[in-house]
Structure 1
């Protein structure tokens, strides 16, 4: 059976940018646009609203210039307004060729916001479409507040759709603007429209106010929708839009009669880039792209994975360019420890694994974070053995910080028995320490990994004189890894975390 092709329109750069506190720069918009179309392979992207700002105008011009050169101009869309041709002129100057015209999809909005009759509204829309055709601009039409229109003024919605069916409109875009639909309503309303207008191209645009956006998307497809509007990481106004990663996974696994062109393997990398550019953090438990969603915590789950993958489902991390992880904490069992030891290339007998497991559970009870990279140190400590030889030891250091002078550090470090001293200045005490360390390693023709994240906190439940925890994320040529240090002094805890890194590399 041939699959029904579903068009995916990503609106991260338009609707997603309406997330509170998010504003992409022109270069960021261009980078995301390229990735969405060329790497992720969505069918279309909505990149801006006309008339918003001079910065938005320049961003659209940059994207349309690239799109014309790369043959993608017909896949670039801009939200426009019924405004006597002002948006059309903006489109022409920006170089865009497809407008998504915002109109009123409920009688309530039309009456109280525009204060116009349906005939007046339809007449102005018709003139806007004619103007677009004269200027070689293609038109799709948004019915704003369509979901409430179907609930409260269905006759108006159908008279509007009758009018649009006679217009040279490519696609009709049906948004659940306020995120109020239930799945059963979504199916009922789109089924009615599909039955009345079998040839009309219908896009469904879901919002997530009741956390029903993915369920509503499924019902829209079941009812016969031709296209979907989605955003990276579920970004968007209020509770956001339907998240692209979740919807793609659901369609591929559960909607067998529909096909999409999206490249699953690119989802995670594009998602993380959008997170970086936007500052909009992905929740750790966000399906498909969250940090924790492919991490098994309970020991019984890891054990089941060893026995015919009993706790696997179809959402295999490799589909999305990711790997399964096994957390270490108070819920860990022997199987979790073994999984992490395998990755480190270490082997322990059953009795030693039991001892290590007990120590990890103790740390978990104290709300300590235990990482795979901590395991060699825990093993060495618990077993009182030389399993992990400390080849690098920070023997001593002097940290100075005086008013009017740059912080400085003198360090004494032993590398495989050789004692080396060095000093340096920096923007802070730890920065000075790292600069001194870089001098040591540079003199020995050795390189250090790049520090890409530095997080400091007091463990939950502690008091003001408790230990300070510093978790540093490092990146070398092959991987990212984290090290952790604990001390009552923040700089010293960072130095301890750095010493762990030196031994790992």
Structure 2
């Protein structure tokens, strides 16, 4: 099998996503996860000379990588600027530079205003200096895709020159994301065949939503490495996404292999989502919240009958599990799947009534979670399936200018009354801090809040019902609770009371 090198550039090209900036500590945490658990081959972590913060981040990463024998996997984008980038690399402790050069006559003529010979001469000087300082060199041909379209003679003149240089890899970016899959194959196969002893990486952008198709054609054409980003982050429409690419290569291109651990892709995706503040679309392949969720009742029914709606993208491959959504398209099979997980069995007549209530809630655009089912069952069929062991009896929430928000609450737990007060960064945070004091007396650790989503119907009515859905993690299991009220904080408290009874 042919090994394809995976170079992750989330920390460099991915950070060019509008509004995203990782701290030095966040960059280090992402780098550690990508190299130690996801096991990508290489990391491009920064651009030289950008800022002091970037410099400090690279120093943190290179120090850790040196201690762990991984320094050759850390790469930095540099520039044709004499000694400047090379000196920056030395001070930052980095050993591999990805030199940015001009891969099209258009860029060379209008941006640098130089001849090919002048550009090549300056590149050779930087490479020679880097090698004398024991820095390994790779070379980017910026705008290479347009270069192949409009000035192929220049591109091949450039590659002829690079074949004489002491470099390890040539990096070919579709800088503006303009290539079609056919062009991608044609251009890359020409180059790979003409320079059989050179290592070529392909760097795809997603402006036309063709990055995965282009990656497949690049691999088919014979490239040796791919540049990818977690969650497809990057400038404009982003880069080729890591998770989708790995799944596609594994399932559709059995002649190649990578070192990437599929089971770690979801965890790094969530970490990058948290640090970037850049939410993953719920329908994003492999890592989106909904991609392993069946919504239509007919699909759940088919899964009960020889897994009729399964494909090779099994959630377990990526450390995830299949779910069955509850809403207006839910059938009895969806609801039965959720009841099984809760250990609840209903008669067919009761199941039909519960199904109808869930459909009604879905019609009103309310989100129904698995943890809501016992409450719906209690309401619909008048049973005491939910035992309310915890009740928030009273609370006072205050918010004043230039003073920290505070909360005082009285809560009944197993028949005992507790009263506590606390401050916090917001009213709900203050409420949770007071609640933690109560449970500290009981020596019980509360679940960790991992996500907090608020849904308010459009239209601008201030008395509209607000729906708060909170995701919790408890003893290795993740679950959601939902609260509904005209006040956002109160709806969150209602969702929290459900959580307290569930645990």
Which bin holds the TM-score, normalised by the shorter protein? Answer: over 0.9
Aligned pair partner of 1:469 in 462, 467, 478: 467
1:361-415 Cα distance to aligned partner (Å, 9 max, x none): 0000000000000000001111111222223333x32526486887665555444
Aligned to 2:262: 264
Aligned pair partner of 2:312 in 311, 314, 317: 314
The correspondence of residues 87-486 of structure 1 with structure 2, limited to 5 A, is: 87-394=85-392, 396-399=393-396, 401=398, 411-416=409-414, 418-427=415-424, 429-460=427-458, 463-486=461-484
1:134-175 Cα distance to aligned partner (Å, 9 max, x none): 111111111100000000001111111111112212111100
1: CA distance between counterparts of 2:389 and 2:66? 57
2: CA distance between counterparts of 1:429 and 1:112? 56
1: CA distance between counterparts of 2:71 and 2:430? 50
1: CA distance between counterparts of 2:441 and 2:453? 29
Aligned to 1:46: 44
Q: Secondary structure at the match of 1:455?
A: strand
Q: Secondary structure at the match of 1:361?
A: helix
Asked if structure 2 preserves the Cα contact closer than 8 Å seen for 1:397 and 1:409, the reply is no
Aligned to 1:498: 496
The correspondence of residues 53-92 of structure 1 with structure 2, limited to 5 A, is: 53-92=51-90
Any unmatched runs of 5+ in structure 2?
Answer: none
1: CA distance between counterparts of 2:195 and 2:379? 72
Asked if structure 2 preserves the Cα contact closer than 8 Å seen for 1:82 and 1:125, the reply is yes
Aligned to 1:33: 31
2: CA distance between counterparts of 1:86 and 1:408? 53
Asked if structure 2 preserves the Cα contact closer than 8 Å seen for 1:328 and 1:372, the reply is yes
> Taking structure 1 as reference, are residues 385 and 456 closer, same or farther at Cα in structure 2, changes over 3 Å only?
same
> Taking structure 1 as reference, are residues 411 and 76 closer, same or farther at Cα in structure 2, changes over 3 Å only?
closer
> Taking structure 1 as reference, are residues 175 and 364 closer, same or farther at Cα in structure 2, changes over 3 Å only?
same
1: CA distance between counterparts of 2:127 and 2:111? 22
Asked if structure 2 preserves the Cα contact closer than 8 Å seen for 1:145 and 1:176, the reply is yes
1: CA distance between counterparts of 2:173 and 2:397? 60
**Offset of 1:99 from its aligned partner?**
1.1
2: CA distance between counterparts of 1:55 and 1:448? 36
2: CA distance between counterparts of 1:409 and 1:194? 66
Asked if structure 1 preserves the Cα contact closer than 8 Å seen for 2:399 and 2:406, the reply is no
Q: Secondary structure at the match of 2:86?
A: helix
**Offset of 1:497 from its aligned partner?**
1.8
> Taking structure 1 as reference, are residues 436 and 13 closer, same or farther at Cα in structure 2, changes over 3 Å only?
closer
Asked if structure 2 preserves the Cα contact closer than 8 Å seen for 1:214 and 1:247, the reply is yes
2: CA distance between counterparts of 1:51 and 1:434? 44
Aligned-CA RMSD value:
1.9
Report how many residues are paired. Answer: 501
Asked if structure 1 preserves the Cα contact closer than 8 Å seen for 2:353 and 2:380, the reply is yes
TM-score calculated relative to the size of structure 1? 0.95
**Offset of 1:484 from its aligned partner?**
1.3
> Taking structure 1 as reference, are residues 195 and 436 closer, same or farther at Cα in structure 2, changes over 3 Å only?
closer
> Taking structure 1 as reference, are residues 298 and 130 closer, same or farther at Cα in structure 2, changes over 3 Å only?
same
1:263-319 Cα distance to aligned partner (Å, 9 max, x none): 101100011111111111111111111111111111111111111111111011110
Q: Secondary structure at the match of 1:470?
A: strand
Asked if structure 1 preserves the Cα contact closer than 8 Å seen for 2:466 and 2:484, the reply is yes
**Offset of 1:452 from its aligned partner?**
3.9
1: CA distance between counterparts of 2:429 and 2:160? 67
2: CA distance between counterparts of 1:174 and 1:252? 23
> Taking structure 1 as reference, are residues 447 and 230 closer, same or farther at Cα in structure 2, changes over 3 Å only?
closer
**Offset of 1:432 from its aligned partner?**
5.0
> Taking structure 1 as reference, are residues 334 and 118 closer, same or farther at Cα in structure 2, changes over 3 Å only?
same
Q: Secondary structure at the match of 1:141?
A: strand
Q: Secondary structure at the match of 1:382?
A: helix
2: CA distance between counterparts of 1:30 and 1:358? 50
1: CA distance between counterparts of 2:260 and 2:286? 14
2: CA distance between counterparts of 1:57 and 1:18? 16
1:221-269 Cα distance to aligned partner (Å, 9 max, x none): 1111111000111011111110011000000111111111101011000
> Taking structure 1 as reference, are residues 325 and 108 closer, same or farther at Cα in structure 2, changes over 3 Å only?
same
Q: Which moved more, 1:378-387 or 1:403-412?
A: 403-412
**Offset of 1:86 from its aligned partner?**
1.4
> Taking structure 1 as reference, are residues 435 and 126 closer, same or farther at Cα in structure 2, changes over 3 Å only?
closer
The correspondence of residues 14-25 of structure 1 with structure 2, limited to 5 A, is: 14-25=12-23
Asked if structure 1 preserves the Cα contact closer than 8 Å seen for 2:398 and 2:407, the reply is no
